[in-house]
Amino acid sequence: MQQNYYNILGVSSKATQQEIKRAYKTLVKHYHPDIYDGRDADDKMKLLNEAYGILGNSLKRHQYDQFCYGEGAQYAYTSPASTNYHTQYSSNTYQSEGFRATTIPSEKIPKRHYAFVLSAYLLFLSLVFWGGYQMQQYSANKYYEEAHAYYLEGDIPQALIKLAEVRKQDDTHVRANWLMGVILFREYSDEQQALTYLRAADRLSENTEDKFIILQTLAEVYTAQQRYDQVVTVLENIEQLNQVFDPLLTERIAWIYTFQLKEGGKALPYYSLLQERGVENTALTLGQGVAYWLAGQGDKAKDLLEKYRMYQPEDGQGAYYLGYYYLYNQKDTLQALEYWREANDKGLTEAAQLIQKFSNN
């Protein structure tokens, strides 16, 4: 449905250009995003700009009034040279700021002509707005490319200047929000502000390639904050985006569930998936053994940890976790201490604290 631009600006259809301009400025001040707290501030501003773009221009207002608004009295822009053309339809006319009100008798123009002209005009308006949007996007994309080039060259101040230009054109530009988050995180170590931009980019992104890059950066920031629950959520989203199996990604998710979040039950399906796909290495043996122990499956844990200890005799982690198995599953403190001493001798300093703690018991 065609918008009533007069109602949007809160003015009469007979308002002068000065009254329209004054109403527009008042409403813009009220609904500016920096002042107005409503979530629809941007939408209201766009609507106000659209209305003023038509009514604030004499020629466009004439076209709008003639084809899209009102019945009976129509507003038409007239110049001295065209006055006689308009006055031939009505003797009841008046002049106000370059406009002449005329009454166009409907019997003079067939209705089908109205429909055709209206359709053509609406098509013209849509092409104008679409062309303006495309020009805006071109400008924003150009500034982004320049900002990205400056970032790669290490010229951060220039990159930030170009990104500011992008936001003037289009503050919903996905890659600009992503790049701003990257700069804040990697160059200024401002993790919280970086997350604001990265989350906005993630919310706005519809392109799979963009979303993949954004999620990887989010995982990087969450890892720096040691928010491993968020890291694993992001990695699982990346896994869903992937069209092919990624063993490194799957292993990382399993590893975080096992060693950072201590949720063996959630880690085990990922270890099983890796086995099904034929991925085997000693690190997975250790991780799966610890995951079984965390999930309360002590016997399976013991077998895998012994296997890892045999494959990696120089690494003390197998002995370290076997100590936990004997302490909590077998209630054998002496055997647990033996494994922790072995782990300590192999350079795993965490075992020293356990030896000191349980030797006194």
Report the C-alpha gap between 113 and 115 in whole angstroms. Answer: 5
SS3 state at 352? helix
Domain edge (last residue) among 86, 109, 132? 109
Do 84 and 197 fall within a single domain? no
Cα 215 to the chain's mean position, in Å? 10
Averaged pLDDT, 335-353:
94
Q: How far apart are CA 48 and CA 33, in angstroms?
A: 13
Residue 144 lies in a domain: no
Which tokens sit at 270? Answer: 């990922």
Please give the residue that has the higher pLDDT: either 361 or 227. Answer: 227
The verdict on residue 157 lying in a domain is no
Which residues, in sequence order, are CB contacts of 25 under 8 Å at separation 6+? none
Domain count, the chain: 2
Q: Same domain, yes or no, for 337 and 206?
A: yes
At residue 262, the pLDDT reads: 96
Which of the two residues, 99 and 155, has the higher pLDDT score? 155
Q: Are residues 206 and 87 in the same domain?
A: no
**Domain's final residue, options 62, 92, 109:** 109
130 occurs within a structural domain: no
Q: Which of 105-109, 146-150, 296-300, 301-305 has the lowest mean pLDDT?
A: 105-109
Q: In degrees to the nearest 10, what's the CA dihedral of 146, 151, 156, 160?
A: 40
Residue where one domain finishes, among candidates 109, 130, 164: 109
CATH of the domain at 318: 1.25.40.10
Asked whether residue 245 is assigned to any structural domain, the reply reads yes
- Read off the pTM: 0.61
Lowest mean pLDDT: which of 23-37, 82-96, 112-126?
82-96
Tell me: do 211 and 88 sit in the same domain.
Answer: no
Please check whether residues 207 and 339 belong to one and the same domain. yes
| Lowest-confidence region among 3-17, 118-132, 249-263 | 118-132
Q: Among all chains, which residue has been given the structure tokens 């009841």?
A: 92
Indicate whether 101 pLDDT > 90. Answer: no
Q: Calculate the average pLDDT of the chain.
A: 82
Let me know whether 200 and 342 are in one domain: yes
Structural domain range at position 75: 5-109
Residue 54: the pLDDT is 87
Regarding whether 202 and 99 lie in a shared domain, the answer is no
Within-domain flag for 25:
yes
Most confident listed range (33-37, 165-169, 348-352): 348-352
Q: In whole angstroms, what is the distance from residue 221 CA to residue 203 CA?
A: 17
Same domain for 235 and 99? no
- N residues, the chain: 361
The answer as to whether 171 is a domain residue is: no
Quick one: tokens of 9?
A: 């600006």
Is 298 a member of any domain?
A: yes
Domain CATH for 44: 1.10.287.110
pLDDT in tens, 156-176: 999 999 999 998 888 899 999
Whether residue 310 has pLDDT greater than 90? yes
Spatial separation of the C-alpha atoms in residues 278 and 282, rounded to whole Å: 13
Indicate if 199 and 103 belong to the same structural domain. Answer: no
Task: Please write the tens of the pLDDT for every residue from 41-59.
Answer: 888 888 888 888 888 888 7
Single-letter code of the amino acid located at 311:
Y
Q: How far apart are CA 175 and CA 163, in angstroms?
A: 10
Residue 342 forms part of a structural domain = yes
